[in-house]
Amino acid sequence: MSNVAIITGAGSGLGQSTAVRLAQEGISIAVVDVNEQGGNETVELVKKHNVDAIFIKADVSKKEDVKHYVDQTLEHFGKIDYFFNNAGISGSGKYFLDTSIEEIDKIVGINLMGALYGVHYVAKAMLENGGGSIVNTASSAGVIGQDSVVTYSATKHGIVGLTKSMVAEYAKDGLRVNAIAPGPTETPMVKEFYEANPKMKENATGGIPQKRLGTPEEVAELVTFLLTSKAEYINGEVIRIDGGFTNTK
């Protein structure tokens, strides 16, 4: 029986690229997204690699939806080996004091609470089966301070804390939890953010030593490595993948 991965935010961007990359390794995928069209597209891309895949619609800010995607995965596949805890939004790019409370609530609900709920339910299922591997999506804004993304940055710093503290509690039980900290990457979320804030794209690419944005495929390679047995002794790490962006800060 093949290994099984849950990927949230799998309807586009990093989630979709990682789903395809894991499928190339023979891993079955539970595709989770609030976007039905994108999620079903990912399922079709995954199935081209002769592995099983299902789509589960979920709003990760709702704990009932998170429990549902975990239950559905277990019902269909019988286990969960890997979890790419990836769903997230960036927000409007307004300075913090100009940001509405409603937007703050939405970003925290999806990025932080959604990640906490995911780890809570998935890790329980993993530990009942002897362990598993989780990769959380943090950000360059989770390891340094950045303007125009204060709430987003706060949630991504929270992801770093979640990652390290889960290892402190559960590594002895067979759980591995790592995080990635991507810099600006060519995803639909980042594209939308830069279209609304063009000056920030210019500032970002100018500040990246490699002078380009990252690609979802490059991030997918890192996630695949961290999730699988090739990285068995890497635990509690936050791996930056940003072309040197945060190393110059």
The CB-side HSE value for 198 (13 A sphere, CA atoms) comes to 1
In whole angstroms, what is the distance from residue 138 CA to residue 79 CA? 25
- Does residue 117 have an active-site annotation? no
Which of the residues 121, 152, 170, 194 is marked catalytic?
A: 152
Tell me if 30 sits within 8 A of 118, measured CB to CB. Answer: no
**CA nearest neighbour of 153 among 161, 140, 142, 137:** 142
User: Which of 238, 227, 244 is CA-nearest to residue 122?
Assistant: 227
Separation of alpha carbons 26 and 52, rounded Å: 9
- Listed residue (150, 155, 151, 149) closest to 136, CA to CA: 155
Helix pair 13-24, 36-47: axis angle to 10 deg: 20
Within 8 A by CB and 6+ apart from 73, the residues are 4, 6, 30, 54, 56, 80
Structure tokens at 25: 């390794």
- Catalytic residue annotation: 152
